[in-house]
Amino acid sequence: MNRRNFLTGCAATAAGAVVASTAVPAAAASDGKVSFADAPLKMSIPHGWFPGKELDEKFAGVASYGFPAYEWLGPNGDIDALKVSMDRANLKLSCIGGAGAIAPRQMVDPTDHDRVVAQFQERVQLAHKLGCNTLIGLTGNERDDVSRDEQTANVVTCLKRLAPIAEQENVTIVMEALNVLVNHKGYFMVTTAHTMEILQAVNSPNVKMCYDIYHQQISEGNLIKNITDNIDRIGHFHVGDNPGRKQPGTGEINYKNVFKAIAETKYQGYVALECGCEGDLDDALRYLREYCLTWT
């Protein structure tokens, strides 16, 4: 469906739309904005999409559309003031960065494991201060001096050190696979199958996958099957359309079908927009709510 044609006609048709029991018709806020408070998936959005110089202004924008949470992988500044602003807007923080980086060494290199563990312990304390229980894990970049099998074993060893910390602290590490064709040349963990191999070897309920729909579309496609076959080991979703990593409706991914498939698994975690916003913000969010998150 053409996004612009949809947006032109949606105002006239939304009131009469009938949706299946797995989705709720898009409600409108009192100011006419669509609301994500009743969405069939628990959505999170970057606060940077919203205007304003102060966090209170940005968080007010997030809350005005009924989002229960915002995404900020690198929260910084006055953390106590940040928490006050979050609470004032009644928002949760869906995920932050936790362990490892898109860089050399990291989890693939055992000489770097002590640093990664210390990094994770520090980030867990930040997560607790902000009421967040999901932290991204990154393997680091592929090495050329040892085999991929040895690097996989190193990642497992590192995660087996991190897992007991996560379990004790009641947080979840979500390991993110990234594409190497467009964005992150040289990154080690790319496919869903490789991610699941690592998670199975670690065997902890507190170590799961961050399934980034944008990255996995580029790397391997087969989105719905890979998601539904592995949903028990997926702890967080990132969303962006391809090409361009903008909001749903700007590229080739059929987010209506992908989101419906996720909802039908009864997934209870966050689905976070980790992408740019192209064009008018209200149009982008109306399309997301009234088309991608409503189905008949």
Locate 69 and state its tokens: 């949470």
Mean pLDDT of the chain: 92
**CB 82: neighbour CB atoms within 10 A?**
18
pLDDT in tens, 114-136: 999 999 999 999 999 999 999 99
Locate 108 and state its tokens: 């693939």
Domain membership of residue 165 as a residue range = 43-292
pLDDT in tens, 132-148: 999 999 999 999 999 99
pLDDT score for 31: 73
Query: Is there a domain that residue 247 lies in?
Result: yes
Predicted confidence band of residue 296 (pLDDT cuts 50, 70, 90): confident
Q: Which residue has the higher pLDDT, 40 or 296?
A: 40
Query: How large a percentage of the chain has pLDDT more than 90?
Result: 89
Query: Is there a domain that residue 36 lies in?
Result: no
Residue with tokens 């099957």, as numbered in its chain: 225
First to last CA, the chain: 15
Q: What does pTM read for this prediction?
A: 0.91
Indicate the DSSP class of residue 130: T
Domain count, the chain: 1
Query: Is there a domain that residue 271 lies in?
Result: yes
Q: Which residue has the higher pLDDT, 19 or 245?
A: 245
Query: Is there a domain that residue 85 lies in?
Result: yes
Query: Is there a domain that residue 11 lies in?
Result: no
> Interior CA angle at 208 toward 63 and 147, to 5°?
130
- Residue 161 belongs to a domain with what CATH number? 3.20.20.150
pLDDT above 50: residue 21: no
Query: Is there a domain that residue 88 lies in?
Result: yes
Predicted confidence band of residue 9 (pLDDT cuts 50, 70, 90): very low
pLDDT score for 12: 35
204 vs 18: CA distance, rounded Å: 41
Query: Is there a domain that residue 256 lies in?
Result: yes
Query: Is there a domain that residue 34 lies in?
Result: no
pLDDT in tens, 26-68: 666 657 899 999 999 999 999 999 999 999 999 999 999 999 9
pLDDT in tens, 215-262: 999 999 999 999 999 999 999 999 999 999 999 999 999 999 999 999
Average pLDDT of the residues in 81-107? 98
Reported residue count of the chain is 296
pLDDT score for 25: 55
